[in-house]
Amino acid sequence: MKNRRIKLAPSILSADFSRLGDEVSEVAKAGADYIHVDVMDGHFVPNISVGPLVVRSLRPVTSLHVETHLMISDPDLFLEEFAQAGSDSILVHWEGNNNLHRTLQRIRALGKRPGVVINPATPAAVLEEVLTDVEQVLVMTVNPGFGSQQFLRTTLPKIRRVRRMMDRIRPGCDLEVDGGIDAVTAPLAVAAGANVLVAGTAIFGAGDDVAAAMEKLRAAVTEG
Ligand code: DX5
Ligand code: ZN
């Protein structure tokens, strides 16, 4: 189906925050590729989560690539802060951003990896003009705001469209999916063209053994 190495990006949203450093070390030991940090402001999405302080606290704990998914109303106001806190990638939504090109250039100017995120109701076509400015596209497979939601299968044709567009104009760009990813849905997303899987509940919510949970996910997307 693919021939691409699939990367796993555990989302700390479902981690035990009383022992966040240990949780991150455990997924790192179990072979995580990125650490996914979900930032929510209570405006862009109806939930509040964490800010730059948490990225800063994680920085000495892990050498893994920290990607920061900004679900906030005015991301431009906080780019510098997240960059200084130690984010490696900064992912901003297409929705509600009147000057997305400028935002992406700013992220790059800060020396960080820019990524664009689209919600389930947003068509793949909006990516056409920004694809050459990003290193990563994140297709939301749930409506953003909460962990533990059900994967929306209606996003699969869109993932395929994004992959086709990438193959045409931006090969090498990461295609990430986020929301409801588990051992059942991960193979569907990968078959559609995703190569980076965000997973919160399936990794941190699966009981104590995050290594076994990650292995299960990995096995689900590994052929033969
Ligand atoms: C949703 C967040 C996701 C979420 C994924 O708004 O962007 O990263 O934590 O959680 P699960 O894997 O539980 O669906
Ligand atoms: Zn996310």
Say if ligand 1 is within 6 A of residue 69 CB.
yes
CA distance 57 to 54: 5
Judge residue 83's burial from the number of C-beta atoms within 10 Å of its C-beta, 0-12 exposed, 13-18 middle, 19 or more buried: buried
As to burial, measured by CB atoms within 10 angstroms (0-12 exposed, 13-18 middle, 19+ buried), residue 5 is exposed
| The pLDDT value given to residue 207 | 79
Which residues are known to be catalytic?
A: 38, 178
Compute how many other C-beta atoms are within 10 angstroms of the C-beta atom of residue 89. 25
- Distance (angstroms) between ligand 1 centre and the Cα of 196 equals 13
The gap between the terminal CA atoms of the chain, to the nearest Å, is 11
Task: Look at residue 1 and tell me whether its pLDDT is greater than 50.
Answer: no
pLDDT of residue 224: 56
pLDDT score of 82: 98
**pTM tops 0.85:** yes
Chain segment 22-40, per-residue pLDDT in tens? 999 999 999 999 999 999 9
- Residue 180 Cβ < 6 Å to ligand 1: yes
CA of 166 to the centre of ligand 1 (A): 24
